[in-house]
Structure 1
Amino acid sequence: MPRLPTSHPALQSLRALLCGFAQIFLQQSPGCGALVLLAILIGAPELLPGALLGGLTSMWVAQRRGYPPTDIAIGLYGYNGVLLGLLLSLKLPWTPLLPVLIVASATLSSLLLAPWMRRMRQHGWLPAFTFPFVLLGWLLLALLAQLELSAAPPANAPDAPALSLLQLILAVLRGLGQVIFLDSPLAGLCLLFGLRLADGRMALWALLGSSGGFALALFSGWPGVGALAGLYGYNATLAAIALAQVHRNLWVPALGILLALLLQPGFSALGLPALTMPFILACWLIRAGAQSWQQAVRNSAAP
């Protein structure tokens, strides 16, 4: 059987879809994306159809709208759709309503992301990151609450806040998995391998972010069960990866980890699910602060 050339549209679409999964962790490696997909299959296979539907829909909309092919190829129009598919599959059983909501929200995510990216490149806007997912996720969760639709049963959390070395390792791995709503340490390990495949330095920062979340949660007296389930590690993980890609020093990603952790409890006080908003705000604050500092230095140096 003749081999398909690498430029074959089907292979290009598959590569773009896998890159969309990888972009959840701010990577553009199809190998990393394949391991993210495998982690979902390991940790919560019932969520995989929704993730695939969301990623394919957001990518297809970008293609149909004529958005930059390079952006599509590296997965920038896939990850928000994947996350929305995961969130909705977690909250709703498979009924005819679920794919409709996934397709609609994934479509909107691409339509929101495109003008934001254009303004980011032309006018210096802050990066969107997963903001389309967060905004649409909040609206969808509010809608489901108003309609009182039955949610899928939540995954079981660890029973007791034991502090053995094994429990610590498992909690750190769960912190990686919670980025995509998984509490399986094996899925977290799979994600770590995916990050290592894409960029070993990012894998190390992901571990530091998740570890920092676990440590601060225990130090601050936050619920031990939540800490062991990795619920305080995933925003810190994403902040660490995002900032370490831009800053080679240690203190900026470390500051991002701390900010993401300090911001997360505030959403509970507001009655909002945090999702990935603490990570986004931490990165925005640091980016805005750096821009303001650079502007102040330029102004002071001007005659």
Structure 2
Amino acid sequence: AIFYNSWIYGMVCLFGTIVATLTALGFKADKGLIKDGLFGFNGALIALALVAYTSRDFAHGNVPNWHLWSYIVVSAAFTSVLVPAFGSLLGPHRVPGLTMPFVLSGWWFLGALLQFSTIDVSSALKPTSPADFTGPRPDYTWGTWFYGITNGIAEIFFQDDWVSGVIILVGIAINSRIGAGMALLGSTLAVGVAVIYGAHDDAIRDGLFGYNAALTAMALGGLFLVLNWSGFLYTILGVLVTARVWASMGIFLEPTGMPVLTSAFVFVAWTMLLAARGFTSLTPIAPTEATRPEDHLSRRRDG
């Protein structure tokens, strides 16, 4: 899906994954976590973010210079330190670290670039939120919904291409149809929130409202909570909150120039997973036991 949009982003994604995975292997991290891709995923995201926010062409990326390649190596390697760090911090609460290793390293390493001159920083290195746009309520069209939903999936990996979003959704469906359905539902509801409250049409079409909400929907909708009716309604609440938190985080981060990344997803999902154990109608799933929503439903029926 990423290579379809940009071979540069595709190569960078693979590079970040390899660096983070090799770091985890070198320090003898948990083999199960390595095999599950938890180290590589965060490494891939930080590599993509660094190229996206240092490229004049955000949509397709620019080829990194050697300074940026070396910067990516350190950044991706450090995410492999943060993965077990958050595991130790959140493990007693049976809450996953999610993409917080990427978010934290992203803020630190992107922020540091503003102090260095050998790596150019693009104008995109700032959060985009409804506060950046003024004017009357836009006239939304079918394109607002279509591109907003599909790009909401694509933006999980910094891809500004609706076809990539569809391919990513198909890839999720190959592993889990429930997971794909939740991603689609999350992005759709987020677009609905944006339309109802009059967000700028370009922000919606670019998928900026959808990507955090899609991640929240997948995390709560069957992966870390059994998808019963209570779990489904709880997921809907989380998605609706995430769409608003994304906009709010843009306001909080605007003075620093840092992007929101997937922080809205992490903060909402953490809050709701921590709270889930206080509700008897919800069935939390420990991170070490999380596989596919279908597997969790099957075990619940068999049990």
Whether the TM-score (by the shorter chain) exceeds 0.5 is yes
TM-score, length-scaled by structure 2: 0.77
Contact 1:247 / 1:253 at 8 angstroms: preserved in 2? no
> Which consecutive unaligned segments of at least 5 residues does structure 2 have?
55-61, 125-137, 281-303
Q: Any idea what the Cα deviations from partners look like across 1:131-159, whole Å, max 9, x if unmatched? A: 011011111221122336423576xxxxx
Q: How does 1:1-303 map to 2 (within 5 A)?
A: 39-92=1-54, 93=62, 94-121=64-91, 123-124=92-93, 126-147=95-116, 149-151=119-121, 163-245=140-222, 246-248=225-227, 249=229, 250-270=232-252, 271=254, 272-293=258-279
**CA–CA distance in structure 1, aligned partners of residues 44 and 276 of structure 2:** 31
Deviation at 1:87, TM superposition (A): 0.6
SS state at 1:128 partner: coil
Contact 1:235 / 1:276 at 8 angstroms: preserved in 2? yes
- What one-letter code is carried by the residue in structure 2 that aligns with 1:273? P
Q: Any idea what the Cα deviations from partners look like across 1:242-273, whole Å, max 9, x if unmatched? A: 00122313211101101211111222212242
**CA–CA distance in structure 2, aligned partners of residues 146 and 291 of structure 1:** 44
Q: What's the RMSD between the two structures over aligned residues?
A: 1.9
**CA–CA distance in structure 2, aligned partners of residues 193 and 153 of structure 1:** 32
- Residue 221 and residue 166 in structure 1: after superposition, are their counterparts in 2 closer, same or farther (change >3 A)? closer
Deviation at 1:44, TM superposition (A): 2.3
- Residue 47 and residue 107 in structure 1: after superposition, are their counterparts in 2 closer, same or farther (change >3 A)? same
- What one-letter code is carried by the residue in structure 2 that aligns with 1:137? G
> Which consecutive unaligned segments of at least 5 residues does structure 1 have?
1-38, 155-160, 295-303
Contact 1:179 / 1:234 at 8 angstroms: preserved in 2? yes
Q: Any idea what the Cα deviations from partners look like across 1:49-84, whole Å, max 9, x if unmatched? A: 221111001101111111111111111111000001
**CA–CA distance in structure 2, aligned partners of residues 167 and 116 of structure 1:** 37
**CA–CA distance in structure 2, aligned partners of residues 216 and 151 of structure 1:** 32
**CA–CA distance in structure 1, aligned partners of residues 116 and 242 of structure 2:** 31
**CA–CA distance in structure 2, aligned partners of residues 252 and 43 of structure 1:** 34
**CA–CA distance in structure 1, aligned partners of residues 19 and 205 of structure 2:** 34
**CA–CA distance in structure 2, aligned partners of residues 96 and 162 of structure 1:** 45
Deviation at 1:86, TM superposition (A): 0.4
Contact 1:90 / 1:151 at 8 angstroms: preserved in 2? no
Query: Which residue matches 1:36?
Result: none
**CA–CA distance in structure 2, aligned partners of residues 293 and 165 of structure 1:** 39
The answer to which of 245-254 and 199-208 deviates more is 245-254
**CA–CA distance in structure 2, aligned partners of residues 75 and 198 of structure 1:** 14
Provide the aligned length of Structure 1 versus Structure 2.
Answer: 249
Contact 2:216 / 2:238 at 8 angstroms: preserved in 1? yes
Contact 1:243 / 1:283 at 8 angstroms: preserved in 2? yes
The structure carrying a bigger helix percent of its residues is: 1
User: Larger relative CO (CA 8 A, sep 6+): 1 or 2?
Assistant: 2
**CA–CA distance in structure 2, aligned partners of residues 264 and 56 of structure 1:** 30
SS state at 2:261 partner: coil
- What one-letter code is carried by the residue in structure 1 that aligns with 2:239? I
